[in-house]
Amino acid sequence: MVFDWFFRLFRRKRKGETKAKKRTKIKPKKVRRIVKIKRRLKPEKKKTLVSELMTRNIISVSPYSTLEEVVEIFKSNKISGAPVLDKNFFIGEISKTDILNLVKKNSLEEIDEKDREILKKTFVADIMKKPICIHEDRSVEEAKKKMEKHNIKRLLVLDKKNRLVGIITRTDLLKWAPKQEIKDTVSTKIDEMIKILEDGPIEIKKLSKILNTPENLVESWAKILEEHGMVEISYPAIGSPVVKLKK
Q: Identify whether the C-beta of residue 114 lies closer than 8 Å to the C-beta of residue 30.
A: no
In a domain, 33, yes or no: no
Whole-number percent of the chain with pLDDT over 70: 77
**What confidence category does residue 107 fall into, taking pLDDT thresholds of 50, 70 and 90?**
confident
- Residue 120, pLDDT > 90, answer yes
**What confidence category does residue 2 fall into, taking pLDDT thresholds of 50, 70 and 90?**
very low
Q: What average pLDDT does this structure show over 50-65?
A: 92
Q: Identify whether the C-beta of residue 234 lies closer than 8 Å to the C-beta of residue 241.
A: yes
Domain boundary among 175, 208, 230: 175
CA–CA distance, 74 with 129 (Å, rounded to integer): 17
**What confidence category does residue 127 fall into, taking pLDDT thresholds of 50, 70 and 90?**
very high
What's the mean pLDDT when you consider all of the chain? 81
What is the structure's pLDDT at 1?
53
What is the structure's pLDDT at 161?
87
Domain assignment of residue 220, given as a range: 198-245
**What confidence category does residue 245 fall into, taking pLDDT thresholds of 50, 70 and 90?**
confident
Domain boundary among 175, 207, 224: 175
In a domain, 125, yes or no: yes
Are 81 and 162 found together in one domain?
A: yes
In a domain, 85, yes or no: yes
In a domain, 14, yes or no: no
**What confidence category does residue 118 fall into, taking pLDDT thresholds of 50, 70 and 90?**
very high
Q: What average pLDDT does this structure show over 102-113?
A: 91
What is the structure's pLDDT at 88?
77
In a domain, 208, yes or no: yes
Q: What confidence tens digit (pLDDT) does each residue in 3-51 have?
A: 454 455 555 555 554 444 444 444 455 555 555 555 555 555 678 899 9
Are 63 and 139 found together in one domain?
A: yes
Q: What confidence tens digit (pLDDT) does each residue in 82-102 have?
A: 999 988 788 999 999 999 999
Residue 237 belongs to domain with CATH number? 1.10.10
What is the structure's pLDDT at 23?
47
Residue 107 belongs to domain with CATH number? 3.10.580.10
Q: What average pLDDT does this structure show over 122-141?
A: 93
What is the structure's pLDDT at 135?
96
Q: Identify whether the C-beta of residue 111 lies closer than 8 Å to the C-beta of residue 103.
A: yes
Are 56 and 159 found together in one domain?
A: yes
- Residue 70, pLDDT > 90, answer yes
In a domain, 191, yes or no: no
Q: How many domains does the chain have?
A: 2
Are 74 and 157 found together in one domain?
A: yes
Q: What confidence tens digit (pLDDT) does each residue in 167-219 have?
A: 998 878 877 765 665 566 677 788 888 888 888 899 999 998 998 888 888 88
Are 105 and 169 found together in one domain?
A: yes
Are 171 and 54 found together in one domain?
A: yes
Are 103 and 211 found together in one domain?
A: no
In a domain, 87, yes or no: yes
Are 88 and 159 found together in one domain?
A: yes
Are 170 and 210 found together in one domain?
A: no
Are 71 and 126 found together in one domain?
A: yes
What is the structure's pLDDT at 187?
73
**What confidence category does residue 239 fall into, taking pLDDT thresholds of 50, 70 and 90?**
confident
In a domain, 220, yes or no: yes
Q: What average pLDDT does this structure show over 109-114?
A: 92
Are 137 and 55 found together in one domain?
A: yes
Could you write out the three-class secondary structure of the chain? CHHHHHHHHHHHHHHHHHHHHHHHHCCCHHHHHHHHHHHHHCCCCCCCEHHHHCECCCCCECCCCEHHHHHHHHHHHCCCEEEEEECCEEEEEEEHHHHHHHHCCCCHHHCCHHHHHHHHHCEHHHHCECCCEEECCCEHHHHHHHHHHHCCCEEEEECCCCCEEEEEEHHHHHHHHHHHHHHHHHHHHHHHHHHHHCCCCEEHHHHHHHHCCCHHHHHHHHHHHHHCCCEEEECCCCCCCEEEECC
